[in-house]
Structure 1
Amino acid sequence: MTTIPISGTCDPHFARLREAFTENFTQRGEPGGAIALMVDGRLVCDLWGGFRDAARERPWARETLVNFFSVGKAFTALVAARLVERRLLDLDAPAHRLWPEFGCNGKETITLRHMLSHQAGLPAIRQDLPDGAALDWNRMVAALAAETPWWQPGTAHGYHVNTYGYLVGELVRRASGRTVGQILREDVAGPLGADVHIGLPSTEHHRAAEFLWPPLLPERPPGPLDDDTLMKWNTYWNPPGISGSGWVNRPEWREAEIPSTNGHGTARGIARVYSALAAGGSIGGVDILSADMLAAATEEQSFGPDRILERESRFALGFQLPQAERPLGPNAEAFGHFGAGGSLGFCDPVARTAFGYVTNDMGPRWQNPRNKALLAAIYECL
């Protein structure tokens, strides 16, 4: 039996969390990953284990980072909220005031609020785009500016799996002159000392774990597709590779900014950002969001049947909120965001906790036994 290397530190009071993390490897098939838990701003658990490559030859190290997929949507939301707070963005102004090309084909009333809460009706692009187009920011935002909504904006919601980052990110760019990744690095992650990135510099690629993307991909349904089926297919697969398939371990993907999908970081970095949010938006003298703006950003905007996920989902302004099918512990005030494969970042202001979990495996995506076990262990210890 292969010995699973697990390293790091954990306060004895949180021994059950260490056990659950170990069991992810021994019982739940975890190949490699890390967890970090902060309570009252103090790092009480910082563990990593397994391997950072498919060959299982390179152990996960303290500074190993990995693509955490939609965990980054919350950081994109945080960047947008900072600009709203500074009155550079308006949640309820038509997006075309900043982005004139966008104001056509039924998109004239779409706002930043619609985008952040997945109500914009733009989860997919109809025009067939070539593989690699996801890395071309200008091409992607031009395609979205020309698109017609799949439903009347504001009347329903559906998870904008990959388009969310381009939509919000283009408004951020036009309002501030900087990209989501730049603002995250310069105004949030840098001051906090948080190892999270949207657009990973080439100098940091040596730290990136190989993500174990599944070899078998779904096949496109045969024949002409009805509008609803086409919407759901294109959400994940147009352009090919927009979800990461074929690209996730390539340097071009790591360096690009795809704020919905290609964020990279450590569990410790995720927990550090959420530790500030758990404390009301400020920690250690670093202010990343006012308490009032944070309250607005975490207020429910969408809840109910999701046009893409075909189940209920619940969103604030870019943050996922707990629901019975997918709780974030016992307290309703918790908020955060899951990522493909089970990665997770969240905080619970009531319990004064912040948590990050990263993995390099595309495990179960909605009900993930690994992050469920970790969440249960956290609250057992608390």
Structure 2
Amino acid sequence: MTANIDGMTSTQFESVKDEFARNFAERGEVGASVCISVNGEKVVDLWGGIADPATNSPWEEDTISIVFSCTKAATALCAHILIDRGLLELHAPVSEYWPEFAKNGKENTTVQMMLNHESAVPALREPVKPGGFLDWDYMIKRLEDEEAFWEPGTRNGYHMVNFGWTVGELVRRVSGKSLGQFFQDEVAVPLNADFWIGLPENITHPIAPIIVATPDPQAELSPFTKKLLTDPNSIQALSFLNNGGWNQNDPQAHKAEIGGAGGLSNARGQVAMYEPLALGGSHNGVQLVSPERLAAMAQVSTATQVDATLLAPTRFASGFMKSMDNRAYPGGDQMSAVLGPAAFGHVGAGGSIGFADPDHGLAFSYTMNQMGMGLLLNDRGQSLIDETYRILRAAG
């Protein structure tokens, strides 16, 4: 479809706007935003298309949407701020901060393991009660009581939504604030970022409902999807489907602090969070973390050939995703996010992404309402990233 596209693009990055337009014309985009900052200056800030097909309302400058697992980066950042301040020790046992978690095979879990998706609770075996994802205390108790799926630290398996509670509870216990409040106080408000983990009552930004992807019956299924569809007791099915009826378009879900998958933002809001991380840890007088902590945050801290949840090779940097090029694997186009070597950030289900690349002083984000298949990027977001790097390489 042809879409109205608003916003600004510097002359050097006009071809990114062309790719953004192609997403609507050729790749099934409905409504979306893309924002790019280089060395602290916005070079792209675009939005367009339809925010809500039911009302035909346009995607506006301040439209926000659920960004799914992009929220994990915000949650991880909160933990790193506390680590940088010496209030949370990366290699300390979780039991020092959250003693109730240290049972049922989880006694030796460390903070690093939680950030690495190695804490062995990627899913819950027994059904989550209706609305359970909206009840923080309930989910914390469930995770405390859950038996480890493996010995923590011996492997990693993507903690699809549980990451928000495992890491988020550490933030809550150490800071004395809820995850969402800590993020607002220490990150979003200082940086003037439209990004929330739990939407307050007074926020009036238009919210674009998420549109679930329609599967292509001819597409090759990834091992994750095959397992999800065929084994209801698998980690894949339990982590994805055992969610208490969580509906990402429910206004009550928007208010809940779901730090693994429930944040609301847009491309500009995510770029505001990543700009300091692209520039040594600070931007416009706001220092999020020290240069030393930033360097550690960007390093691969765990990598595996077969992630216990995603059943594909994964690479993580203490709560952040690194570049994952799995396109040579079956269904790998649904399990890839190809970034620069120094880049770190996070993908959201259906194709949204935010990341920083300190090598280029780059902060990048793309968000949308029409989900694509798979849990990582698809051709819409990847095309924008590829074009951005092409321009940066050409500029030397």
Interval containing the TM-score (normalised by the shorter chain)? over 0.9
Where do 5+ consecutive residues of structure 2 fail to align?
Answer: 216-224, 327-335
Whether the 8 Å CA contact 2:36–2:364 is kept in 1: the answer is yes
Residue 375 of structure 1 pairs with residue 375 of structure 2:
no
2:281 corresponds to which letter in structure 1? Answer: G
What are the residue-to-residue correspondences of 1:353-364 with 2, within 5 Å?
A: 353-364=362-373
TM-score using structure 1 length:
0.93
1:179: how far off?
Answer: 1.6
Residue 82 of structure 1 pairs with residue 81 of structure 2:
yes
Residue 157 of structure 1 pairs with residue 163 of structure 2:
no
Q: What secondary structure sits across from 2:202 in the alignment?
A: helix
Whether the 8 Å CA contact 1:334–1:347 is kept in 2: the answer is yes
Whether the 8 Å CA contact 1:33–1:360 is kept in 2: the answer is yes
Instruction: Give every structure 1 segment of 4 or more consecutive aligned residues whose post-TM-superposition deviation is greater than 3 Å.
Output: 214-222, 326-329
- Select 2:360's aligned residue among 351, 356, 359: 351
Which residue number corresponds to residue 230 of structure 1? 234
What are the residue-to-residue correspondences of 1:265-276 with 2, within 5 Å?
A: 265-276=265-276
Whether the 8 Å CA contact 2:116–2:302 is kept in 1: the answer is yes
1:218: how far off?
Answer: 10
Whether the 8 Å CA contact 1:54–1:212 is kept in 2: the answer is no
Q: What secondary structure sits across from 1:204 in the alignment?
A: coil
Which residue number corresponds to residue 294 of structure 2? 294
Residue 70 of structure 1 pairs with residue 69 of structure 2:
yes
Take 2:123 and 2:106, find their aligned partners in 1: how far apart are those partners?
Answer: 14
CA-to-aligned-CA distance 1:146-181 (integer Å, 9 cap, x gap): 111101111111100010000011111111111221
Where do 5+ consecutive residues of structure 1 fail to align?
Answer: none
Whether the 8 Å CA contact 1:328–1:334 is kept in 2: the answer is no
Which residue number corresponds to residue 147 of structure 2? 148
Which residue number corresponds to residue 260 of structure 1? 260
Whether the 8 Å CA contact 1:71–1:339 is kept in 2: the answer is yes
Whether the 8 Å CA contact 2:298–2:343 is kept in 1: the answer is no
1:56: how far off?
Answer: 5.9
What is the count of residue pairs matched by the alignment?
372
2:256 corresponds to which letter in structure 1? Answer: A
Which residue number corresponds to residue 315 of structure 2? 314
Whether the 8 Å CA contact 1:36–1:357 is kept in 2: the answer is yes
CA-to-aligned-CA distance 1:239-286 (integer Å, 9 cap, x gap): 333xx5xx2111110000000000111211111111110001101110
Take 2:204 and 2:119, find their aligned partners in 1: how far apart are those partners?
Answer: 34
1:306: how far off?
Answer: 0.3
Take 1:269 and 1:129, find their aligned partners in 2: how far apart are those partners?
Answer: 32
Q: What secondary structure sits across from 2:73 in the alignment?
A: helix
Take 1:63 and 1:29, find their aligned partners in 2: how far apart are those partners?
Answer: 22
Which residue number corresponds to residue 34 of structure 2? 35
CA-to-aligned-CA distance 1:49-105 (integer Å, 9 cap, x gap): 101113361000000011001111111110000111112211121112221211211
Residue 186 of structure 1 pairs with residue 185 of structure 2:
yes
Residues 129 and 17 (structure 1), Cα distance of their counterparts in 2 relative to 1, 3 Å cut? same
Take 1:8 and 1:276, find their aligned partners in 2: how far apart are those partners?
Answer: 23
Take 1:171 and 1:255, find their aligned partners in 2: how far apart are those partners?
Answer: 20
1:20 corresponds to which letter in structure 2? Answer: E
Whether the 8 Å CA contact 2:227–2:236 is kept in 1: the answer is no
- Select 1:239's aligned residue among 233, 239, 243: 243
Whether the 8 Å CA contact 1:124–1:235 is kept in 2: the answer is yes
TM-score using structure 2 length:
0.90
Q: What secondary structure sits across from 1:338 in the alignment?
A: strand
Which residue number corresponds to residue 124 of structure 1? 123
Q: What secondary structure sits across from 1:52 in the alignment?
A: strand
1:83 corresponds to which letter in structure 2? Answer: L
Take 2:373 and 2:260, find their aligned partners in 1: how far apart are those partners?
Answer: 19
